[in-house]
Chain A
């Protein structure tokens, strides 16, 4: 598969034309965060509802932008729904690792990201284990990495507001 075909894999186009979890949630009790990509004008709005046990009971995604930013946010929403906040945070680090971004400040010393956290096997939503892997092709187009991570960075902000890191 050429680099270009890698970037625009069918699964990405699927999430782009039928984005999951589109809409809004009432705030409060949900938390809302907004992110912009100044390069190309992408915007993502992330709503999350976190219950008293720290589980993300609902997610909604808004905003507009390119196929990479919107499909990544859509896949993200399916991946975190029903998950505990901690797991969502680890997913963020893992996804950024997929994008070759290794950080040391997401509740750990970075070794988790470097080891490539395996994605949850419990998720029985329409997102399968391989969905996020489809975005691996983005790495070959560095300019698009910010598009792919936009939703995830916005999610991190929303998580910090809902459940600040102690």
Chain B
């Protein structure tokens, strides 16, 4: 493996036991655990550097402002953004998508204009567009998903014809599928459409370069990449952000306010109304430091190897009883493993799988994973999902597999 063998020790939550078993956390696709360094960085901010930002003339306020803006610059470098002022902090990726839909959408989409998404999208990249469709009659078009969990791009050019925006996930949170973003960027731009990328599962797991990807907008979230909850990122090209109307109104995002009206601040602050989440930005910066110390190429390599191990081990141990959704080739996917488990008497419902696994200290997710249209395509109401990250190793997979045998026994009718 390309990551430190004792990496679990850095994560306080992983030192616990549940029901007499050491915790095996396989739900990082939902939220990741935090290294001590991230927790310490946030505590330190509140202990030593806390003040409000952009408005103080005293030393402490200067430090707080630097903490926020240094974190912003760090995030920009992490995704190779051309400039730090293209990084907008939001509450999470969902809010970033809503900012994009509402602010860019309201200024650029009229009745009949088309937005193209896909059947594998998370609700955060579906519902804002449904809302725009209800509000102003935009048309929503869907790229289908094929039987192998890949986007079916046969009709891509027809779907993009006359569309204003293609908004697509870089890695599916259900299937783990990695989509070919550069290719999609080329197709979108050839059709005079912009490309928005939901990189919530991607940025934490794969070295990200927004310029190489060809994206015009990209969203991701801190809490899936070892950072705290409460901070997300919208990156967009400066010229797009400059042209977009503000999202929320209040302090920070203005230059001038009179009884007659207001003028907006420069980007990115135009989109950051009110007191920002400085401690969370500091935490995200510390998470980026931690990931860069591991090396994102090592993070990806570890995940490809562990995903391959998991697919092999689970199939060896359970044969026909387990079906893992998504691409069968580990290099075409991330370590997000949705599966169906069939005991002797039929499918064990994901909710029951998760409950039984919990008895062995194993944490997986059961449900529709905020991707109900995809569930419909898969013909399921719910799946079980194990998702891997930097602190998982082969012994975690072995424990998962053994715990599935326990589920088999309980539901063997």
Q: Which residues of A contact B (CB under 8 A)?
A: 4, 7-8, 13, 17, 38-43, 64-68, 141, 144, 147
Contact = CB atoms under 8 A, between A and B. Distances in A.
B366 A40 contact: yes
Q: Which of A39, A41, A42, A64 has the most CB of B within 10 A?
A: A41
Contacts of B375: 41
A7 B356 CA distance: 11
Q: Which of A4, A17, A40, A64 has the most CB of B within 10 A?
A: A40
Nearest to B382: A41
Contacts of A7: 355
Nearest to A14: B413
Interface in B38-94: none
A125 B402 CA distance: 40
B381 A43 contact: yes
Given A39-B367, A40-B368, A66-B349, 7 more contacts: A8-B410, A13-B410, A17-B345, A17-B413, A40-B350, A66-B351, A68-B352
B351 A40 contact: yes
Contact of A42 (B359, B381, B413): B381
A80 B352 CA distance: 26
Contacts of B411: 13, 67
A40 B410 contact: no
A65 B368 CA distance: 12
B345 A67 contact: no
A144 B355 CA distance: 9
Contacts of A8: 410
B360 to A, nearest CB: 11
B349 A67 contact: yes
B398 to A, nearest CB: 22
A68 B351 contact: yes
A36 to B, nearest CB: 9
Nearest to A147: B351
Contacts of A38: 368
Contacts of A64: 381
A65 B381 contact: yes
Contacts of B366: 40
A8 B350 CA distance: 15
A141 B355 contact: yes
Contacts of A39: 367
27 contacts: A4-B19, A4-B355, A4-B359, A8-B410, A13-B410, A13-B411, A17-B413, A40-B349, A40-B350, A40-B351, A40-B367, A41-B350, A41-B375, A41-B380, A41-B381, A41-B382, A42-B381, A65-B349, A65-B381, A66-B349, A66-B351, A67-B349, A68-B351, A68-B352, A141-B355, A144-B351, A144-B355
B355 A40 contact: no
Contacts of B355: 4, 7, 141, 144
Nearest to B346: A17
Contacts of B352: 66-68
Contact of B382 (A40, A141, A144): A40
A112 to B, nearest CB: 31
A139 to B, nearest CB: 14
B409 to A, nearest CB: 11
B2 to A, nearest CB: 36
Contacts of A65: 349, 351, 381
Contact of B368 (A41, A66, A67, A147): A41
A41 B367 contact: yes
Nearest to B383: A41
Nearest to B368: A41
A40 B381 CA distance: 8
A42 B381 CA distance: 7
Contacts of B380: 41
A107 to B, nearest CB: 32
Q: Which of B351, B366, B411 has the most CB of A within 10 A?
A: B351
B121 to A, nearest CB: 17
A-B pairs, 3 with minimum CB distance = A41-B382, A41-B381, A66-B351
Interface in B399-413: 410-411, 413
A140 to B, nearest CB: 12
Interface in B335-371: 345, 349-352, 355, 359, 366-368
